Amino acid sequence: MSTKLEINNLMIGLSAAYPDFHPKNLDATIKAYEESLQGFPADLLKKAVDRCRDTCLFFPKIAEIRKAINEITTASVPNTSAAYMEKTPLSPAMSEYLDNFRQAMVDAGKWHEYRPSKEQRAYEQDRAAAMDRGE
């Protein structure tokens, strides 16, 4: 958890980015920030203060710093599980449409990428299924 000294130093550094920041009672303001933010880890608090410095037009309020902390801690992390990474199979009709489209592009000279034939793909699918069965 952040110490009062760490929070004090963050606030002093933050105030340098806002030259118009002149609270009426600086000691009371810093004390309020210290009391409200001391429950957060110092590295997280620094990230939040840096984010506020980069996005806030005026010296950030406690609520703005807490919002930045929340955004940092709840950032969505992509699901990398195997199920997420698997491709959704195409319907046979869509697969046939795409095969015909690719062939038309190849015939027109607009598609130069290697694409296995339907027979080759069927063979590879059968081979993969046989390997899954342990054959």
* Overall residue count recorded for the chain in this entry: 135
| Domains of the chain by start residue, with CATH | 4-73 (1.10.8.200), 82-133 (no CATH)
Give pLDDT, residue 82: 62
For residue 107, what pLDDT is reported?
A: 85
pLDDT at 47 over 70: yes
Angstrom distance (rounded) from CA 4 to CA 95: 63
Predicted confidence (pLDDT) per residue in 68-113, tens digit: 999 998 875 666 666 555 666 778 888 889 888 888 888 888 766 6
Residue pair 40/69 in contact by the 8 Å Cβ criterion: yes
Rounded to whole angstroms, the Cα distance separating 27 from 15 reads: 13
User: How much of the chain exceeds pLDDT 90, in percent?
Assistant: 46
